[in-house]
């Protein structure tokens, strides 16, 4: 079974994580199938993710861990808010027809 989980990198007391697709029997720091993104908890919780690759793995039956699922929700909420605020800003700056 394939799981999508975090792979810890970085130094001691300075964690950084990769979001990876991995065989569930592999060690936490073992070989992974594909790198899907990064998560830096120290950099303001910055998350970079290839959502198309993540969706492809999920469609093929990969299980997403709770932590990665919460990161995906966070990214999607941020993008929705960004898109929503961009559309509102365009409406406010458009000249009125009256």
CATH code at position 65: 3.30.1320.10
pTM over 0.85: no
Q: Considering its fold, how many domains does the chain have in total? A: 1
Residue 41: pLDDT band with limits 50, 70, 90: very high
Token pair belonging to 29: 């720091």
Residue 97 belongs to some domain of the structure: no
Q: What radius of gyration, in Å, describes the C-alpha atoms of the chain?
A: 18
Burial 14-41 (b: 16+ CB within 10 A, else e): eebbebbbbeeebeeeeebebebbbbbe
pLDDT in tens, 76-86: 898 899 888 76
pLDDT of residue 86: 66
Does residue 60 lie in a domain region? yes
Average pLDDT over residues 56-79: 93
- Print the domain residue range for 82: 2-90
Q: What is the pLDDT of residue 94?
A: 44
């Amino acid at each position: 079974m394939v799981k999508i989980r975090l792979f810890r990198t970085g130094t001691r007391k300075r964690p950084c994580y990769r979001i990876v697709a991995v065989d569930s029997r592999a060690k936490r720091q073992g070989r992974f199938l594909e790198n899907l993104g990064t998560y830096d908890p120290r950099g303001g919780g910055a998350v970079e993710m290839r959502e198309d690759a993540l969706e492809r793995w999920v469609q093929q039956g990969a299980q997403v861990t709770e932590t990665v699922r919460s990161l995906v929700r966070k990214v999607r909420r941020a993008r929705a808010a960004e898109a929503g605020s961009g559309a509102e800003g365009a409406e406010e700056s458009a000249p009125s027809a009256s």
